[in-house]
Structure 1
């Protein structure tokens, strides 16, 4: 892949640039992007990521500083998205999202065992929060967890859950009722073979391991609660604070690949007796794609730098990065499809796959419209 100009900015340190250079040359294992069963390719990818010590960067070891270098996560996601597509990128980041609540809550012996296996790529992790009527509005979660002696009994449905059906364990958010709204939610660590838990796959526009989880009188020991009662919303927000900006980085990777493919296409294809690259209208579109992409990259890595610099939650910066990068990437990939013409909508072509990969990114982990609300509310809140 071609080096990104963003990697030379002051937002990255030498060890980030060394990581980017190493990943640009890494022999990523080839896996089928649209398999009938996502389990085997995801496990193959996780073992390769673990062997390359990349999972160490998103699952802190016990006794470590218990922190994640967000710029490293962003670089890894950008490069995986560019070089290997959505399966590699999703496999990587979900190991982080599916385990972060465990170490954010303080870990413990049980959590340490699960974290070690996930870090080694031996198990698949998942985080189950979204429901049919509760997505961006976390306070609307309706799944219940009722105390019964030493157990909790969970009932409800989760949907659009990445790794549903192939995960070995889930962190599931349910309503325990300590307070109204988001403050009455708790998280539970649940093994995939727990009686009362079932999974059903969903078919997404982009090839994606995910689906529905149903809990029918599922009994879970109270010792399986992650953190304190009523702390799930805080744990979820802390998790998304770490990983949300990296959604923008993955979008950069998809869009950068689309731009490079387009540059090659217009340089080799003739139209009206001359190369497409010589047509001023095409040149204008290439310029627009480049400007949008590089501007979005600066937003992403500024937000990641802010997180790593310890400047707080950086809510506005992270939301701006996610919003700008995913919207810009959609524009870049759409333009790529347009310039490819009929070949751009041919099922299985690179830009067609990129088009399907990029579209959901404007929705998950906070839709673009929600990010605008977050940004505006942060700007409008009273200043002391």
Structure 2
């Protein structure tokens, strides 16, 4: 069984490495080579924005970049490509444990009183950047701030981050992870170099699943094809019942006669404290279905329908956030969203 060394995050999966402790980087060779070359030439932008769908390795690339910088503090002497990090080396272990003095990883904070993670990255987290950057670099090299994902910044936090991006100290690198560029402030986007990362190819993803020993839900190739290039999606499909949840939800949403009893059974499947991952899968699947519908309607020239789907996406996002924030009944939440989508999709 995998033994976690990294701190647990809001989106951690049991027995799956965090990006900071993952020595395997699959895909993104062109982006990695570009970043290594820019660093070697002394032209690395102070703000990088890694953009792409969830679960394709954006955060893993960010930590591999940090390992590259920390292992090669003199840019001109750095190799032209990333080398696979040594899991037994001191740099890798410190980065994995969130203990490297030149790295600050910001994500949703855990609230000890409530025993759960916040649903946003707060301004208090961003204020840690000022304290971090006020310290003298321990080896004169780069200091790296990773915001993961920047989509989760609330307005106050986003504005506070903008101030840090405007005038960063020398040899400071910000890496912002985003699943949706449109959710970020235009002023943040304008101060960063956008690095667009693509979903993994099916053979790449299937090979990674074999290396991870993922099983269940079909062959590696079948799972990879269904996961749309996302490692996280593939793992959720194969190991956490994601395929079954998606199949049941699809039938509920597209059926002309809504099956309330089946919806409540689905609610049972994602209910309970031991079903946090399944509850997250359900919510993500709902949003993905709405997004796919909006894209399809827009492609068909139905601007009004696409706008309605976009409004539904915003409404459901608020509903999901409220359910997480106020610990609402998950069974009723799931059944209610299934009914709402059924009504919207069959209108």
Report TM bin, short chain: 0.3 to 0.5
TM-score by length of 1: 0.30
| Higher share of residues assigned strand | 1
